[in-house]
Amino acid sequence: MPYEFEIVIPPGKKRERLDTYLTAHVENATRSKVQKAIKDGTVLVDGKTVRPSHPVTGGEIIHITLPKPPPQDAEPEEIPIDVVYEDNDLMVVNKPAGMVVHPAHGNYHGTLVNALLFHTQALSTLNDAAVRPGIVHRLDKDTSGLLVVAKNDVVHAKLARQFSQRTIVREYHAIVWGVFKEKEGTIEAELGRSKSDRKKMAVVSGGKPAITTYTVIRQFDYLALVKLRLKTGRTHQIRVHLAHIHHPVFGDPTYNGRHIVAGPGTQKQKAEVEQLLSLMPRQALHAKTLGFVHPATGKEVFFDSDLPEDMQEVIVELQKGGNEERENGGKGEWETMRL
């Protein structure tokens, strides 16, 4: 089945070549593939075929039909992984930032699945049984933290059911922009693919329901450390929800986290932010805690991980500056912080 979708060019868009625009705003697109699709007539602008050099402007509707690439089998690769827990039924791993979870177009090597296949290949030799890793949930490439991996279909199905029934405990820590008026809150906004940029998700009417709760752990002058819990599991949910309430995740290049969106905007702050961004080349988001009922034993299990080094370094630098705001203006923290 081909893959069909529409892109609506935002009003006021500066004139830009069609092939250039689509390469930048369609997931897994390359300039050559985009140009071929346009020449093959599978890209229509306001219902008409055009040239790759066609200048797009605000208000145009682009309809795209693309063939789905054939799936590729992942190969085992000797890549170190941080195994937090492991038994005969499942594993809990601490994924580093920068690692893609599952092979996909443009990322068929160096993924967590490639690493797990190598790890479980060694296990199968010991156990005389073929063990294949089953990814139950995912994290964005540049989000670090805990993931549970099933070792057989029965465990995978039982874990997947817990995710669908929202009984899994998933707690994230993030450094985000801005000063919160309230210590706690709930973000409830429907999410879907952005109509102007297929690489992004957005809050859209008629999208999939999504709920995120947050608690401020520590408030600084223009950044905050927050704890987040997911009640749903949508793509980019935390990042989009926080950007939606004007508290984007610090360092996030996709959802406005690498621009100054809070604070005085002075030269001193700009210098501070530049230094902090040099420590944080990604979104400052970490899947810190994971809890679920073990499918084999029926017991509740909880796993916790330390914040990664880059996030810890940003917090240490913020503490050095002494630029912390407190709930009551005094020296007490909202919550004892454990990195």
Q: What does DSSP say about strands 184-188 and 191-193: parallel, antiparallel, or unpaired? A: unpaired
Q: Which amino acid is located at 28 in the chain?
A: N
CA 151/CA 116 separation, integer angstroms? 10
Coil vs helix vs strand at 330: coil
In the structure encoding, which two tokens stand for residue 272, read together? 């501070």
DSSP type of residue 72: -
SS3 letters for 90-110?
A: EEEEEECCCCCCCCECCECCC
Query: Dihedral angle at the C-alpha atoms of 25, 26, 31, 32, nearest 10 degrees?
Result: -170
Write phi, then psi, for 95 (nearest 5 degrees).
Answer: -75, 130
64 contacts 40 by C-beta, under 8 angstroms: no
The residues annotated with a catalytic role in the active site are 140
Q: Are 149 and 136 in contact (CB under 8 A)?
A: yes
Q: How far apart are CA 150 and CA 138, in angstroms?
A: 13
Distance of CA 57 to the CA centre of its chain: 30
Q: Residue 288's closest CA among 306, 273, 267, 310?
A: 306
Residue matched to tokens 């964005």:
140
